[in-house]
């Protein structure tokens, strides 16, 4: 398999001066959306080298997902990952833990507590996860907790079907999109128990709610939006319509969104359109081209990391500055776009 970084290296060969200017900053908070074929694995690395990995992708596939995560981590200068946060216990999020532990050290694991689901694959994923931890440090996080990672703020917004009850900095405004939002069905699955976090680096704000579904989204953001606006939004639940209510997405007012879909998973046309139409959105990026979504519900190929089902694991990288400015890089083709600072306050 070719290196995950071959496209980025091509950038240096083609235009080394440009690449140096674009990538040489030591003040960047770097976020890597690793391709785990429709699961999740988001690695965040601070300028000082502290790290948080959110989810670990699938089990099996000869360790494919663990290999991809470990390669990105090591190419980021990491010898270990400080924290691994498991949003919930479906196997596309937690399944890669045993294989990952064979490839790189982990300081501590964070999750929402016991498994809440008895169907699908959650019990299997939870059991394999807990059995693999051994003597590793393990902590349960609750809404309102702060994960102590030097160089960035990480606030827990949702966990174990509960959510924050007080606005974070930049939040607290009435949500005008709640009145027209249809009532959502109760979701008994692990998705509704997802740990969701807000990452803040100076003026830059990134939101990841795992696979949180609509009922829990609406409980949190209606009638008041406690989060405020964000610069970067990881589209929830791989872009499924079971999540990504208009009342959530429009209230967040994201500048850029990334969907961690697979070639045949997620990126539903309805959810894609909701994110695409959200106020203030400048760009939507995808980890995969979704063939059955058609041209109307896929972005331009420059913004897609993997174009076919036999992908080589190309990632999307976001590099953020304390000013709120950030860049997004597609590792497949070296395409990069700069998003200048856009406001003086944490919630814009």
CATH no. for 24-335: 3.60.15.10
Total number of residues shown for the chain:
348
Residue 76: Cβ within 10 Å count: 16
The span from the CA of 227 to the CA of 254, in Å, is 11
The domain limits of the chain are: 24-335
On the question of pLDDT at 346 being above 90, the answer is no
Helix (H, G, I), strand (E, B) or coil at 155: strand
The span from the CA of 56 to the CA of 197, in Å, is 16
Cis peptide before 223 (omega within 30 of 0): yes
User: What phi and psi values does residue 291 have, to the nearest 5 degrees?
Assistant: -60, -45
* C-beta of residue 283 within 8 angstroms of C-beta of residue 256: yes
E strand or H helix that includes residue 251 = helix 246-252
Residue 114: DSSP 8-state: S
CA neighbor of 174 nearest in space, from 221, 218, 215, 219: 221
On the question of pLDDT at 65 being above 80, the answer is yes
211-229 burial, b for 16+ CB within 10 Å, e for fewer?
bbbbbbbbebbbeebbbbb
Question: DSSP readout, 186-243?
Answer: P--SGGGG--EEEEEETTEEEEE-TT--HHHHHHHHSSEESS---SEEE-GGGG-TTS
For range 241-258, the mean pLDDT: 98
User: pLDDT at position 25, please?
Assistant: 53
Lowest mean pLDDT of 53-62, 120-129, 266-275, name the range: 120-129
For range 125-129, the mean pLDDT: 94
pTM score: 0.91
- pLDDT, tens digit, for every residue of 222-232? 999 999 999 99
User: What phi and psi values does residue 122 have, to the nearest 5 degrees?
Assistant: -60, -45
The span from the CA of 226 to the CA of 216, in Å, is 13
On the question of pLDDT at 344 being above 80, the answer is no
Instruction: Provide CB contacts within 8 A for 118, sequence distance 6+.
Output: none
CA neighbor of 212 nearest in space, from 239, 232, 194: 194
State the pairing for strand pair 204-208/224-225.
unpaired
Lowest mean pLDDT of 3-7, 191-195, 232-236, 310-314, name the range: 3-7
On the question of pLDDT at 12 being above 60, the answer is no
Tell me the pLDDT band of 119, cut-offs 50, 70 and 90.
confident
């Amino acid at each position: 398999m070719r290196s995950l970084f071959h496209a980025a290296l091509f950038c240096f060969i083609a235009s080394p001066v440009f690449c140096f200017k674009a990538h040489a900053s030591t003040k960047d908070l770097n976020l890597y959306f690793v391709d785990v074929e429709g699961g999740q694995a988001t690695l965040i690395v601070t300028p000082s080298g502290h790290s948080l990995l959110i989810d670990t992708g699938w089990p099996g596939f000869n360790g494919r997902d663990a290999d991809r995560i470990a390669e990105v981590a090591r190419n980021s200068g990491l010898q270990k990952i400080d924290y691994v946060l498991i949003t919930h216990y479906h196997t596309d999020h937690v399944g890669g833990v045993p294989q990952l532990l064979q490839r790189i050290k982990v300081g501590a694991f964070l999750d929402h507590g016991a498994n809440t689901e008895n169907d699908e694959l959650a019990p299997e994923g939870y059991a394999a996860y807990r059995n693999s931890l051994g003597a590793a440090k393990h902590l349960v996080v609750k809404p309102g907790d702060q994960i102590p990672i030097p160089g960035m703020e990480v606030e827990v917004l949702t966990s174990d079907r509960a959510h924050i009850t007080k606005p974070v900095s930049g939040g607290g405004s009435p949500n005008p999109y709640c009145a027209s939002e249809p009532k959502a069905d109760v979701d008994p699955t692990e998705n509704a128990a997802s740990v969701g976090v807000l990452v803040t680096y100076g003026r830059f704000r990134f939101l990841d709610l795992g696979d949180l579904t609509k009922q829990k989204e609406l409980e949190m953001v209606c009638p008041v939006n406690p989060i405020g606006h964000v610069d970067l939004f990881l589209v929830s639940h791989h872009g499924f319509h079971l999540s990504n209510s208009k009342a959530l997405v429009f209230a967040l007012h994201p500048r850029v969104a990334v969907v961690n879909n697979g070639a045949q998973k997620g990126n539903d046309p309805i959810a894609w359109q909701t994110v695409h139409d959200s106020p203030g959105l400048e760009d939507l990026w995808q980890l995969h081209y979704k063939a059955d979504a058609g041209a109307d519900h896929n972005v331009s190929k420059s913004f897609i990391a993997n174009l076919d089902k036999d992908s080589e694991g190309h990632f999307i990288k976001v590099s953020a500055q304390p000013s709120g400015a950030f860049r997004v890089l597609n590792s497949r083709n070296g395409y990069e776009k700069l998003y200048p600072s856009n406001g003086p306050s944490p919630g814009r």
